[in-house]
Amino acid sequence: MTLRVQLSLLLLLVTFIPIATFTYLNQQETSRQYMASKDIALIQANDLLVDAIDDYIKTTQEVLWADSYIPDFKTYLESSKSQREMLFSDVYEMLRSVIIKDSIFVNSAALLDVEGNNLMDTSAYHYSDDESQMEYFQSVIRKRDSYFSYQLVKDLQGDALYVSTPVKNHKGRVLGLLRLRIDPSRFQFLISKSLRKTSLQAILWDEEFTQLANLFNPEMIGTQGELRKGVNVADLSFNNGEPFWYVGDTGQQHRTLKSSIASLPWVLELSQSESEYTSISKKNYRHWLMQLGGVFISTLIGAVVVATYFVLPLKRVGDAAEGIAAGDYKTKVPVSGSAEVQGMARSLNKMTQTMILNLDELAIRHMEQQKAEKALIELNSELEERVEERTKDLIDANQKKSEALEQLIQSGKMAELGNLVAGVTHEVNTPLGNNVTVASSLEAQIGTFVAVVQAGKLTHKDLRAFIENCEFAVDILQKNCQRASELMGSFKQVAVDQTSMRRRKFSILDTVNEVITTLYSELKKHQHELHINLSMDLILDSYPGPFEQIITNLINNSLVHGLKETNTGNIFIDAHYVEGSDLQTVHLEYRDDGLGIPEDISVQVFDPFFTTRADEGGSGVGLYLVRTLAERDLGGELFLDQSVDKGVRFIFKLPVQAPER
């Protein structure tokens, strides 16, 4: 592809794409505004139609309620059977006057007694029927208020909606019911009348999703949607009252809005065909394509003209540059075209002159470079020998450092073990000293008791007091002996683990408790609370010695560093199996709510000899020892979590089965 074509295409893209994008976005915004206006019209029509249906329902109930106060109806219901025959004609005409108000859609009116018997009906279909089990009867008797059918009812005449209201005497006692049968075409007419100047389609559903009205397909009135059977109207979602796209039974897409009727659990579905929404968009799109075609042709012609103006002088410069590249430094570049191209031509001419001057200088420098390279080779050989000697010295120094660190780790272990021995010894002295005191006291009481017996002055009160004192002393002796035994057992287990480095299966909970027992002398100096959230199911096949050393060092660190400024701190230890590891990895978390570790030294806390208490005798080995034991001996990983708001948090990931040492 030639430079002229490339430049023409570039100019075409730079100018045409912004214009096309701008006009397209403008067309899209026009279409969006049109669709928004159609949505607003759909929402307004829906609100008017919902109000009209709701007003009709309320008005019908109110008118029927007013008719229920006609004195002839009350008189007829309170009369005997013989009296009713005499009153029948007058009351029947009065009943017919009820349906004359809306004779097109009200098929019949009936008067029922309190037992549900049809005493009078303007329609011959239901006269003398027992309607006591019908919902319109049960609801009025139960609630003593007007009723409008929640769903379409199928009777001998077909589909119908029933409206009923109680007829009461002057004392408020229900004498019977006044009931209307309304043809569902009332709502078809009401919806058609409300939407006659629009292209909107509407469907009205009752509580059981039976169609009461359908402008699009009137034959569907009285049918029930298969997909909606068993659905409660109260559980429906109406998309927050916003229109949405819906594919109808015909496969065509409609803009639909669903809403509920306030008076009854009915659903109104109002829709507009997709063509009403997209007609303006298609028209705008065709207009945009025509405009775009004209802009494209104009831009293409302009791009070709501009490219030609720039490319021809560049081609002449390029031909001259090829001659220079071939070694003909005497070639002159023609100066023509735009100011930029002329400047390029002058620069190339100056460059050729400079190159001629520099060639001789390059030859001289090449000879000097060869000499320098020879000297560099000799120097590199000498440096390699020095590096080899320094590397050997560095390896020896690192070996000595590793040995020193190992000795430091062992010293740290033994120092902690020594502290452990001192603490346990102090704790064991307490119960043993108590036992000595109790034994001495018991010995004195026995001597006194023997003297009383020998003197023959023993009373029942003295005997009971002696027995109680002996039982009390024995109880104290047992508790102190048990405490000493527990201390010695825990110390023995911890001491054996930390000195023998043996491998065995052990419970994390039991091991942590043994460590806490051995540290009791230090912990009781404060009022810190230990929160242990461990399960007996957490078992490690590992080295308990290093594990105990880790817990010991972390607790000591909390006491010495984190919680040194408070006596009411908290220490948390919990562990669980890592999800997805098939019970092969344990997640152990140690945390306290003390001072924490400043962020600026968090990267150094695991380094050997790093300490913030050098003036107080700190060795800087504690956390280094913890990391070494966790990674080297237990085969796990250790992390310092800096995301906690207060205190410090260490996270261990330990394999359930430690690798062989």
Q: If you count them, how many residues does the chain have?
A: 661
> In the predicted model, what is the mean pLDDT of residues 79-84?
89
Taking residues 621-629, report their average pLDDT: 82
Q: Are 165 and 68 in contact (CB under 8 A)?
A: yes
Interhelix angle 339-454/508-518, nearest 10 degrees = 70
pLDDT for the residue 345: 72
What integer is the mean pLDDT of 132-142?
91
% of the chain surpassing 70 pLDDT: 74
600-609: pLDDT as tens digits:
887 788 887 6
Mean pLDDT of 283-292: 68
Q: Which of 261, 289, 317 is the last residue of a domain?
A: 289
> Chain-wide mean pLDDT for the chain?
79
- Please give the average per-residue pLDDT across 384-412, as a whole number: 69
Exposed, middle or buried, 636 (CB in 10 Å: 0-12/13-18/19+)? buried
Q: Residue 118 falls within a domain, yes or no?
A: yes
Contact 626, 553 (CB under 8 A): yes
293 pLDDT exceeds 80?
no
Q: Give the CA dihedral 357, 360, 364, 369, nearest 10 degrees.
A: 80
Give pTM, 2 decimals: 0.44
In a domain? residue 430: no
44-66: average pLDDT: 90
Residue 113, H or E segment: strand 106-113
pLDDT at 98 over 90: no
pLDDT band at residue 13, thresholds of 50, 70 and 90? Answer: confident
Q: What is the pLDDT of residues 346-359, one digit of tens each?
A: 776 777 777 777 76
Q: How confident is the model at residue 398 (pLDDT cuts 50, 70, 90)?
A: low
Residues 6+ apart with CB under 8 A from 643: 649
The whole-number average pLDDT for the span 268-293 is 72
Task: Provide mean pLDDT across the span 245-266.
Answer: 79
Residue 501 predicted with pLDDT over 70: no
Residue 589 per-residue DSSP state: E
Residue 431 lies in a domain: no
380 domain residue, yes or no: no
pLDDT at 227: 43
Q: Is residue 588 helix, strand or coil?
A: strand
Residue 364 lies in a domain: no
Boundaries of domain holding 513:
502-655
**Residue 264 vs residues 57, 149, 204, 205, 494: alpha-carbon distances, Å:** 9, 8, 12, 11, 77
Q: Binning pLDDT at 50, 70 and 90, where does residue 224 land?
A: confident
Comparing 184 with 426, which gets the higher pLDDT? Answer: 184
Q: Establish if 136 belongs to a structural domain.
A: yes
Q: Of the residues 240, 259, 289, which one is the last residue of a structural domain? A: 289
β-bridge pairing 529-533 and 648-655 = unpaired
For the stretch 198-208, pLDDT in tens is 888 888 888 88
Which residue, 90, 79, 110, is CA-closest to 175? 79
Please report the sign of the dihedral spanned by the C-alpha atoms of residue 642, residue 645, residue 647, residue 652.
Answer: negative
Distance (Å, whole) CA 623 – CA 593: 18
Among 79-83, 486-490, 581-585, which range has the highest average pLDDT?
79-83
Per-residue model confidence as pLDDT tens digits over 504-524: 899 999 999 988 888 877 788
Amino acid letter, residue 376 = L
Give, in order, the Cα–Cα distances in Å from 506 to each of 12, 375, 538, 547, 577.
77, 68, 9, 10, 15
Could you tell me if residue 481 is inside a domain?
no
pLDDT of residue 648: 93
The residue that leads in pLDDT, 34 or 170, is 170
Q: Please check the confidence at residue 171 and state whether its pLDDT lies above 60.
A: yes
User: Which of 306-310, 317-321, 381-385, 431-435 has the highest mean predicted lDDT (pLDDT)?
Assistant: 381-385
CATH at 214? 3.30.450.20
- Distance (Å, rounded) from C-alpha 192 to C-alpha 364? 103
Q: Does residue 331 belong to any structural domain of this protein?
A: no
pLDDT category of residue 234 using cuts at 50, 70 and 90: very low
pLDDT of residue 166: 95
Domain count within the chain: 2
CB-CB contact of 442 with 392 (8 Å): no
Distance CA 104, CA 526 (A): 94
Spatial contact of 112 and 119, defined as CB atoms under 8 Å apart? yes
CA dist., res. 225 & res. 163, Å (int):
25
Strand-by-strand arrangement of the 244-247 sheet: 211-214, 201-205, 267-273, 253-260, 244-247
Q: Hey, is 268 helix, strand or coil?
A: strand
What's the pLDDT score for residue 201? 84
Residue 615 has pLDDT above 80, yes or no: no
Tell me what the mean pLDDT of segment 7-24 comes to: 70
Of 289, 314, 347, the residue that ends a domain is 289
Question: How far apart are the C-alpha atoms of 648 and 626, rounded to whole Å?
Answer: 15
